[in-house]
Structure 1
Amino acid sequence: MRKFKKTDMVSGLVVGIAFAVFVFSLEATRYNRFADAERHEAQLFAEDLKEKLEHALLEHELRARGLTTAIELSGDISQARFSLLADRFKKLDTSILNLAVVENGIVKLVHPFEQNRHLVGYNLRNDAKQWQAVARAYRTGEVTIQGPVPLLQGRLGLLLRTPVAEYGADSEHFRVSKIITVAIDASAIFQTALGLTSDSNIPESGFQVALTTAQTGGDVIGATKVFENDPTVVTLAVPGTELKLGVAPDGDWAAGYRIAWMRNLGILAVLSIVLYAAYILRQQRIERNGARRQLDAAIKTLPDGFVLYDAEDRLVNCNKKYKDMYKKNTAAMVPGARFEDILRAGLKNGQYADAVGREEEWLTERMAAHNAADSTSEQRLEDGTWLRIFERKTPDGSRVGVRVDITELKRHQEELEASNANLLQALAQRDIAEKRFSNVAALSKDWVWETDKDLRVTYMSNSILSNEVAFLLGNSRREAYKDFPKVFQSADWKWLAEKEKAHEPYRDFIYQAHGATEDNKWIRTSGDPIFDENGEFSGYRGVASDISDVYNALREAEAANAAKTEFLNVMSHELRTPLTVILGFNALLTKPDLLPSMKKLESALRCGSFSTEDVSQNLDQIKNEVSRYAKKMEVAGKHLLNLINDILDLAKIDAGKLNIDPGDVPLYPVISSVADQLSEAARLKSLELKTVSGAEIVYADELRLRQILINLVGNALKFTERGQVEIRAESRGDNIAIHVRDSGRGIPEEKLEAVFGQFDQVDPSSTREKGGTGLGLAISKQLVELQGGTMTVESEVGVGSTFTFTLPAAASHASEGAGC
């Protein structure tokens, strides 16, 4: 017996390691093949399912176009008519949940009505996800498909939106006001497509599938965890969006792979290695041939044309359907032929109708689309056949193409287009007739309107209030103005409601159109009831006009008359007050015997008890009393004189006869003088009267400047109870600005414009309380403007007011000034 040596052990170890490496290599190869096959099956399954879904969505789109045409023919459609059309449409496919007509973003009609009546009136602008797609349909006028999205019925679905075109009188321009929305049960259409796919020869068992939007965060139909398992993904290009279809196994990828432990143990034997290697080779050949036969069989059974080109753009395989579609190219369709060569053969034989006369240009365009392999296009052949071409790239760079015969669909589309053309011609004739009426209506400032029996406006000729047309059309006035309570406060709507309820005519109903017009114009409208041939009430027809100018003028005249009346009341009070003082004290002075001091002196003289010193004291009392009365009369007289001067100044300004004598006037002395003159009034109210001025010199009438400052500062002191009043001057280039700021009660914002009116007063009661005519600010503003300046006011209630006026700066400035 041969003795076992260490070298034998080493050799055996080396051989064993070699065997182990070989076995591991075989297992790795088999595992990769298993994983690739599984991925390939998933890709085939995804592509097949994608095709079924695209076919299903296309059928829904075409049917929806038919329904849209019916709606366009019907014009304004009732719920009953819509339900009849929608019911026929819905019976064609059980995956259709409901249909709706959306007008101006609001759901107007629904079907089935009973289950969805709560959706009528729903504003899609409140649903951010849905409104984005609806707005796109309005903007582009193109069909859009959105989803999967949560439907208003509480389930996931796909929303197919087909715009309804409304053409103008020239039959060339249209606008979109309605959209037909078809809510499709996304799960149902998905499951139907899955059922059709399961009938094919693609080995889809063990796969999970899911459908979502290509956008991040979309809702998912199917197995929601598919997209977490590194799925095979294909993209569905549908109108308005992209859908992403994911396919993944039930478990992890290649989870079904099993290591052949017993086989590997057999490999450890030298003889088994050779036999097992041969077996593996044979199995690989069988599997490859089987896969190829399976692929060939699947391709042959496809209802549409199928073709596969490799990464070098050479023909790998195509089915009989593909060759039948391109009969004149069949001879060129041999494995290994380049796609461009096949196209050139077809061009030579006149295969492509769209290429005649522009062959090279057509070839360039077709090759560009083919190389991109991410588009869907349509192609017309010489025999009139229309094909829809789908081309996609595979991960290895190959190109897969599918050709779908859509000749019948095109024929239906042409019939629809012809029908639409006839309809448009009829509509154009109708529009011409309506335009005759509109032209007549346009010659008048009035406009014509009509309502249905529910008082909703169905027609309104173009008025000067174009906003009101869109605002009222399709609504009753009460519906349109429901969010504008001022409209109902502007007129007796109860009276109008009684007239309409009784179906009686009404005349000259006037209201203010808050919300419908930019400046809330006043509208006058009259209407007569309309009855059909059976005597049934069917609505109102009437005329309306804009009477804002006349109505506002009347209101302004009434307001001005009221303001003048109030002004006269104030003036009557202001004039009587000083006159009463003057006349009262004058009566005492004309009868000195009635003076208390005089009575005391006469009494003492009669008694003979007065000394010379007592007489002197009594005479001083008489003088003081007479002087006190005279001063009160003087104050009252000056007040009366100021009132008269204000009225005279206003009359002169209005007549253009007030003389202005401008010159260079240093501001500091004038401001200081006015502050000194009014300091006692400030002291009596414990107010701080502050001035801030420098070397500013204005070009103005000094007398009128003082008058302006006295009016402004006097008003500030009059209406300020605590705090301060400040006079501040500042340079503004060619002008000098003077600010009079107080910490008084302030002026409400809505009253700011009234403070400078001749008869308008912020609060007449406060004028009477504080005294004055209320003309000071009006006169001051006009005096400023006569001197080339402006006057403004800023105020906040409870904080105070700032009156600012500007005057031209003098050509030269004083070199010295002072401030405090």
Structure 2
Amino acid sequence: MPNAILRKRAIETLIGTTLAVLLTLAVVAGAFKLSSSLHEDRLSDLRLQGTLELVELREKIEADVHTTLSSLRQIGTALQIDPDMSQAEYSDLAFSIAGKNSAIINLAAATDFRLSLVYPYEENSSILGFDLRDYPDQLAGVTQAVEAGDMIVAGPLDLVQGGVGSIARYPVFVPGDEGDDRLWGIASLVFDHSGLIAAAIGNSIGSDYRLLVTSDGLRDADRRTLFGDIDVRSAADPIELDFDFSGGDWTFLAVPENGWPSNAISHPHNIAIAVLAALAIVAIWLIQIIMRSRNRAEVQLLRAVEAIDGGFAMFDAGGRLLSFNAAYARMYDRCRDAIRRGARFEDILRTGLANGQYPDAVGREEEWLKDRLELHAHPRGEFDQRLSNGRWVRISERRSEDGVLVSIRVDVTELKEAQAAAEEANRAKTDFLSVLSHELRTPLSVITGFVRLVGMEGAMPESRRLASALAETPDVPLPVRSAIEARESSIAQTMRTVLRSAEHLLFLVEEMLDFGQVEAGKLTVRPSNCDVAALIAAATDQCGEKARRKGILLETENADAWVVADPKRTHQILLNLIGNAIKFTEAGSVRISVEAGDEAVEIAVSDSGPGIAVSELGKIFEPFYQVDSSSVRRAGGTGLGLAIARNLAELQGGSLTVSSTEGIGSRFALLLPRSHDEPMRLAGE
């Protein structure tokens, strides 16, 4: 299963990377396409705006051209009416019609093809009398107008006056003698097309465009330009408009002053597109990185889970298996067919029950299943489970905040076997200590009895008979009598020494017996209401002689308090605490104080001994532990007293704690439940 998942994750990573590359290329291509489309739309808008402006300008130019040419028609009409018009009259007429049109170079009239009238006179008087038939180029235009019977415009061309302009010719017909019209002559108008166009343009289009007006009516290409910059013809994609007026075939070209804008990356829409594309690409690769990181993390997790020296399983909040390792499946070999991702925990258990996976469930399957499902729903730490193959697994289950349950299973078969062996050895040791204690206590009791008897003067029959014999024989020499009495006294002193050693040995045996009962769980207490003062008095009376021999001041604080305790076991605790305090204190005092609270009474034994190192405080209640110091070694002991004392305190619902400062002393505090059923006291007690 894990190998299949690893292959699946590798394929997913490859597919994800390929998709990310393709999406990146698609985003880049889309960005270029969008940029080109927006650029084309922008160019279309600019061309439309420019075209509208140029159409308006063209109409103005056409209007000015028509106005200029209409001036010639008016002159021609006036000459038809008054063919004998004088120069002065002609000048006045021309001024009134075209005096304000700066584009008009001259207005002339030629009678019988000879120039006879001009305007303005001063600038053009030199051409009066010219015969148009002497100028073939001029004659061709005149002939064309006469044949057409209407105005003809020619140009641009070289003018007789100098320069380049356009000439409009209008044939003038007057009534003949026979009632028909006869040709009077030609009225002509020379105008500067550049000036006319420039005047029409003015500031209407500003300096945003380069303009070119051309005419297609000439053979010489260099003279096709009527107005503007000839380089516009070679510019890229100019706006092109045709003029509409008689006698003219003009074309209007225009391009922006700096050319059409390129699709520069610095343009706002390209910057916006680039930013959006970059964000999209970053998002694509960020998602890809996240997916790869997730896959990598999952692969690492799977490998880590497989490396666990134990079973691993993870269930969702609904109890369905999310993940597991091979060790988990191996442990539950009889459930292996049901162990798969998505399987319900209950189904796995039922498969195991049907196949005898759980020996502890035999005969109580439904009850066992209910308890196990409850423990799975509400995990409470660790517990051990026995399997059908004889192995033991320790199960540790924890539920996360989102309800996912993580379960770790460790094979503890060897630990269980070692624990069973240790428990068996401990039971054997406890039984041995109990038997040994009983076997030692019986002869020790006999020894102490006989030692007490021997140590008492006159207690032994032989001593009594010897005393009677000495009394009945007054003539026994004094040295003999003194020797006999000295021997009796020596025997009594020796027996007292033997008695103290025997009692100490019996105390050690009693400690070992109590410790064995504690470990076996057989030590019992019988609580009752106890007077604290009486308990302390009994203990201090027994330890008083020992304190006096060492010169230790034994101070007692009497308190009117009662506790719920076993008097015998509490006496044993106090003897241990007070005895230890006296034993380890070389000089100073031992103080027993009492502090009664609402629920408990504290009996504290404080000494002025050497104190206990901080590193030792946590160990002194351990069985057989002794503080490693010369004073302890000299004092001796089994190291069981404090361990037994603490167990006795806890068995009575209390506690035993210690605090100490090296060089100042130690304080042991026995806390016992306070009795609220204290006996009534008489007045004066």
TM range, smaller chain: 0.3 to 0.5
Of the two structures, which has the highest relative contact order with CA contacts closer than 8 Å and spacing of 6 or more? 2
Q: TM-score, normalised by structure 2?
A: 0.37
Which structure: larger Rg? 2
Q: TM-score, normalised by structure 1?
A: 0.31
